[in-house]
Chains A and B, each alone.
Chain A
Amino acid sequence: MENPIWGNSIFRKKKKEDDILTLLKKEPIIKMGDPGLGMYIIVKGSVEISTEEGKDEKNVLAQLTEGSFFGDLALLDESPRSASATALEDCSVIGFFRPDFLDLLNRKPKLGIKVLFALAKTIGERLRRTDELLMQTQEKKSKIHHG
């Protein structure tokens, strides 16, 4: 499985140390507002990413399947989770957490830097996409404004 964060080779090396979680259908993996601790990669099954608007209301942002990942920003800081992730069916996920990441940077800096670089690349790409979306929105807005 090719992973966008650390690619094939490093992924294989990391797999031994990762945590595999088995989840039941509807079981929450992360909750919006909780302190972030790490990212998850879906090994089997599918996961729903959503934001909670009210007590019982939720806004579904995406449905992720095998090979997808989420929560990667939490590897860098402890800011609250911006969305919740819930198992849509019985599934398995691999967790990669900040303590492990910091430990990896400490003990195997070269490997840690590779992961850090890939993480920065992913965040950079996401930022570029957000910029493009923002520009498109602004263009649409100015077109509407000028008739």
Chain B
Amino acid sequence: MDKYTYELYSQLLKTSWKVFLIILGIALAVILFPYAKDILIMFIIAWLLSVLLSPLVDYLESKRLRRGWAILIVMIIILALVAFSFSLIIPGIIRTVEALTTKLQSDVINELSVKIEAFFEKNFNNAELARNVTAKLNEIGVSLLNSLGEFFKNVGSFLASMVIVPVITFFLIKDSRRFKRAIISQVPNKYFELSLNILHKVENQVGKYIQGQTIDALIVGILSTIGLFLINVAFEWPIQYFFFIGMLAGLANLIPYVGPVVGAIPALTIAILNNPPNLGIVLIWIVVMFILVQAIDNALVSPLVVSKSVNMHPLTVIVVVIIGGKIAGAIGMLFAVPLTGIIKVTLQQVTWGLKKYSLHSISRLKEETILKPKGGEAA
């Protein structure tokens, strides 16, 4: 075997070995995914948090605070805020579910059923249809409550396993540069600048996107809360727990197109179950308020704070939300769009890098180095 054939043979062997390792890696990932799902979700949440909190840590560090202390201070503040919010929200959730259950078991539903039946009998002269409609509505109401209970049960067990997230977040912020360097050090020299540049751009855009989405959700949450409060003042408090419902609307806003509709449903449901004297007007005002909040968000808030590089087609959003729901339930639905956004940004940047960097001239060098004898003089 001459030297050229030997080099080609060894190169082929190396490539085959790499392909085998990649296939093995993918197979292992698929097999282990169901077992590692919870840990993976924890890491994703910790990573999202680290991206979100890093600017605050950097700011404190620029004020001459050690990075470790800066992270600790930011995390203590955030944890205190989360604990405070939960202490307000969790009793609210429990009271809301209890109240809804009571309402569903009380005469309100019967009164509504009678009203609907009368409406159908009067307008369509069809009592059978009216009974069918009310029975269906009852069914929907009960299943809605059941799924609501299931959702909070999932969130509860999920939160219980989330004790570890702050610890992971701490180390992700503290050693982010070390992790980045560890990844980059594995990259061959010829792809070094390309990889570093892509990593930097992805990090930058993903950071802006996550921070933008969080600020946007917070503003929508505050606006919805104010709107619901004003409706409450005007119509003798038809919507209890307006703070919780408003903030839930902000959170739902993380899911484009679907979120705003989902955000309005709890407010409308509670108003219907409370059955105030001027129910029709209250419902119209709730819808108008949510449309107004969306208009303000789309015209003023979103263009300023959310990066446009991750705009997605409505169909894509619906598909990824369904997939997210299948994989990780409510939390999966919530994170499906941001995670798809991150994948989109990464792919955009990789394509940009491959177009901009002259990798062809590097492969020319590769041919030269393959044929170069080890330790020998090259031409």
Q: Mark A75-102, 1 if CB is under 8 A from B, else 0.
A: 0000000000000000000010111000
Whether a CB of chain B sits under 8 angstroms from the CB of A133 is no
Q: Mark B179-206, 1 if CB is under 8 A from A, else 0.
A: 0010010000110110011001001000
CA of A98 to CA of B378 in the docked complex: distance in angstroms? 33
CA of A23 to CA of B203 in the docked complex: distance in angstroms? 27
13 sample A-B contacts, Cβ–Cβ < 8 Å, listed by A number: A19-B184, A21-B189, A26-B369, A27-B369, A28-B365, A30-B193, A31-B362, A33-B358, A34-B358, A35-B356, A37-B193, A38-B193, A107-B61
Whether a CB of chain A sits under 8 angstroms from the CB of B58 is yes
* Segment 152-198 of B: residues with Cβ below 8 Å from A: 177, 181, 184, 189-190, 192-193, 196-197
Residues of B near A24 (CB, < 8 A) are 369
User: Considering only CB atoms, which chain B residue lies closest to A17 in the complex?
Assistant: B177
Judge whether B193 and A34 touch: CB under 8 Å: yes
Size of the A side of the interface (Cβ < 8 Å), in residues, is 25
Which residues of B are in contact with A by a Cβ distance under 8 Å? 58, 61-62, 67, 177, 181, 184, 189-190, 192-193, 196-197, 200, 203, 356-358, 361-362, 365, 368-369, 378
Report the minimal beta-carbon distance from A52 to chain B, rounded to whole angstroms.
9
Residue among B177, B189, B193, B361 making CB contact with A27, cutoff 8 Å: B189
Q: Which label, helix, strand, loop or mixed, suits the secondary structure of the B interface?
A: helix
Q: Which label, helix, strand, loop or mixed, suits the secondary structure of the A interface?
A: mixed
Instruction: Using A34-B193, A35-B357 as known contacts, say yes or no to A107 and B58 having CB atoms under 8 A apart.
Output: yes
User: Considering only CB atoms, which chain A residue lies closest to B377 in the complex?
Assistant: A25
15 additional contacts (CB under 8 A) given A98-B200, A103-B177: A26-B365, A26-B368, A27-B365, A27-B369, A31-B361, A34-B358, A35-B197, A35-B356, A38-B193, A95-B192, A99-B200, A99-B203, A107-B61, A107-B62, A108-B61
Report the minimal beta-carbon distance from A95 to chain B, rounded to whole angstroms.
8
Residues of A near B356 (CB, < 8 A) are 34-35
Report the minimal beta-carbon distance from A111 to chain B, rounded to whole angstroms.
10
CA of A26 to CA of B192 in the docked complex: distance in angstroms? 16
Judge whether A106 and B358 touch: CB under 8 Å: no
Judge whether A97 and B196 touch: CB under 8 Å: yes
CA of A99 to CA of B196 in the docked complex: distance in angstroms? 9
Judge whether B62 and A106 touch: CB under 8 Å: yes
Instruction: Using A19-B181, A19-B184 as known contacts, say yes or no to A28 and B200 having CB atoms under 8 A apart.
Output: no
Residues of A near B378 (CB, < 8 A) are 25-26
User: Considering only CB atoms, which chain B residue lies closest to A25 in the complex?
Assistant: B378
Report the minimal beta-carbon distance from B121 to chain A, rounded to whole angstroms.
70
Judge whether B62 and A109 touch: CB under 8 Å: yes
CA of A41 to CA of B206 in the docked complex: distance in angstroms? 31
Q: Mark A39-52, 1 if CB is under 8 A from B, else 0.
A: 00000000000000
CA of A25 to CA of B373 in the docked complex: distance in angstroms? 12
CA of A95 to CA of B357 in the docked complex: distance in angstroms? 18
User: Considering only CB atoms, which chain A residue lies closest to B55 in the complex?
Assistant: A106
CA of A106 to CA of B184 in the docked complex: distance in angstroms? 22
Residues of A near B368 (CB, < 8 A) are 26
Judge whether B197 and A37 touch: CB under 8 Å: yes
Report the minimal beta-carbon distance from A139 to chain B, rounded to whole angstroms.
39
Instruction: Using A25-B378, A26-B368, A27-B365 as known contacts, say yes or no to A106 and B197 having CB atoms under 8 A apart.
Output: no
Report the minimal beta-carbon distance from B54 to chain A, rounded to whole angstroms.
10
Instruction: Using A26-B378, A27-B365, A28-B190 as known contacts, say yes or no to A106 and B196 having CB atoms under 8 A apart.
Output: no
CA of A34 to CA of B189 in the docked complex: distance in angstroms? 15
Report the minimal beta-carbon distance from B178 to chain A, rounded to whole angstroms.
10
CA of A37 to CA of B189 in the docked complex: distance in angstroms? 14
CA of A42 to CA of B356 in the docked complex: distance in angstroms? 26
Residue among B62, B197, B362 making CB contact with A28, cutoff 8 Å: B362
User: Considering only CB atoms, which chain A residue lies closest to B197 in the complex?
Assistant: A37
CA of A42 to CA of B58 in the docked complex: distance in angstroms? 30
CA of A6 to CA of B189 in the docked complex: distance in angstroms? 25
User: Considering only CB atoms, which chain B residue lies closest to A36 in the complex?
Assistant: B193
Judge whether A37 and B196 touch: CB under 8 Å: yes
CA of A108 to CA of B189 in the docked complex: distance in angstroms? 29
CA of A99 to CA of B198 in the docked complex: distance in angstroms? 11
Residue among B67, B192, B369 making CB contact with A21, cutoff 8 Å: B192
CA of A98 to CA of B67 in the docked complex: distance in angstroms? 21
Residue among B62, B197, B200, B358 making CB contact with A108, cutoff 8 Å: B62
Report the minimal beta-carbon distance from A15 to chain B, rounded to whole angstroms.
14
